[in-house]
A and B are shown apart, each in its own frame.
Chain A
Amino acid sequence: MSQAETLTRKDVQRAAWYWIFFHHCAQNYERMMGVAFGSTLSKSLEKIYKNDKDGLANALSRNVTFFNTEPHLGSVIPGITLALEEKHALSPETVDAELIQSTKNSLMGPLAGIGDSLLIGTINPILLSIGIGMSTQGSPVGVIFFMISWLAVTLSIKYFFFMKGYDLGLDAVKMLADRRLKYIVTTALTIIGLIVIGGVAATTVKASVALSFISGEMTISIQEILDKIMPSILPLMVTLISYFLVAKKKWSTNKLLCAILIFSALMVILKVM
């Protein structure tokens, strides 16, 4: 073994930026994000194994294996791996190659689960719904708001988690494997997401009844009666029935799409809606 060099802060930062911009480059079904993962670490590995060609070859082939996670929260994994690789080069007996691999593999699953529900499933819809709310009158502010806020959230999360991952090294494994913390975070965000989506759906889904009975002087509008029970009770029913059909009756999206179109057309022809 040659003398291994330790990484400076700048090297880690460079790897972090590489991950931020290229975490999905050369993605394929065989290795998913494996190639991007390897290339993220490559510059640092080249520095670590400057005079050790075999070591570099091993380290690189170790890091282009199958890897798939949610890239934002998941950026903690290349950070941790970088720290472990550095330690491995310094003292192979404390951190062996097996440990690096298993750390990577055990973290990518849970982080993909948390990250997808947290960022893609919750924060993204929340930001989108705020943006859509701003743009209902046709103003472009909502679009700009979404682009800026989403980039601000993801870029800072990716950079922060990469650097934190490197700092924490093995400690991060313990922290993120804490089942209770993970449970709290995911449940809380599921609840927030559901309530907010309920609010967004209320302003987006529209349905009304045009039918009214006329008897002599008096006109009884069905819509007015429904509004007295609860405002927009009809769209809520439509949404819940759609959800029921998709989730419980296992209807395909296309089937429901056709059903809604036919139902709407029929109702309009019959002058009910």
Chain B
Amino acid sequence: MLPALGFAILLKQIVQESWMIVLFILGWVLMVSVSMTTTALVFVAIAVAVLFVLAKDQKGHVVESEGEGI
């Protein structure tokens, strides 16, 4: 059970918007249901990222600057 704590802390740092937790669940479900390897999962993830960026780009989305920490 304790690894859950580690992932909670990691997620807290990575997740910027609440909906992004869905991606985490997607990765989880793919892993246990299809029982693919992590390397295979990377390619699925790349596909999702490409789709997301393309979709966002098509809308002509104006990107606002986000706070950058050093």
Contact = CB atoms under 8 A, between A and B. Distances in A.
Given A110-B68, A192-B42, A247 B15 contact: yes
Contact of A196 (B5, B42, B63): B42
A202 B45 CA distance: 15
Given A179-B65, A188-B50, A193-B14, A198 B31 contact: yes
Q: Is the interface of A mostly helix, strand, loop or mixed?
A: helix
Contacts, number: 171
A123 B16 CA distance: 18
A253 B9 contact: yes
Contacts of B10: 125, 197
Interface of A: 68-69, 108-110, 112-113, 117, 121, 125-126, 129-130, 133, 179-180, 183-184, 187-207, 230-232, 235-236, 238-240, 242-243, 245-247, 253, 256-257, 260-261, 263-264
B38 A129 contact: yes
Interface residues of B, number: 49
A236 B70 contact: no
Contacts of A239: 4, 7-8, 28
B49 A243 contact: no
B10 to A, nearest CB: 6
Given A196-B42, A207-B1, 18 more contacts: A109-B70, A179-B63, A179-B65, A193-B45, A194-B45, A195-B24, A195-B26, A195-B27, A195-B30, A196-B27, A196-B38, A198-B24, A198-B26, A199-B41, A200-B38, A235-B4, A243-B12, A243-B15
A43 B62 CA distance: 44
A188 B46 CA distance: 8
Given A183-B63, A197-B24, A199-B27, A238 B45 contact: no
Contacts of B38: 129-130, 133, 196, 199-200
Contact of A243 (B21, B41, B57, B65): B21
Contacts of B30: 195, 198-199
B2 A260 contact: yes
Contacts of B37: 133
A125 B13 CA distance: 13
A232 B27 CA distance: 13
A184 B53 contact: yes
B32 A121 contact: no
Contact of B7 (A109, A112, A201, A263): A201
A263 B5 CA distance: 13
Contacts of B1: 205-207, 235, 238, 260, 263-264
7 contacts: A109-B70, A126-B42, A191-B20, A195-B26, A198-B28, A199-B27, A235-B1
B58 interface: no
B7 to A, nearest CB: 5
Given A192-B49, A231-B32, A239-B8, A201 B14 contact: no
Interface in B26-70: 26-33, 36-39, 41-42, 44-46, 48-50, 52-53, 56-57, 63, 65, 68-70
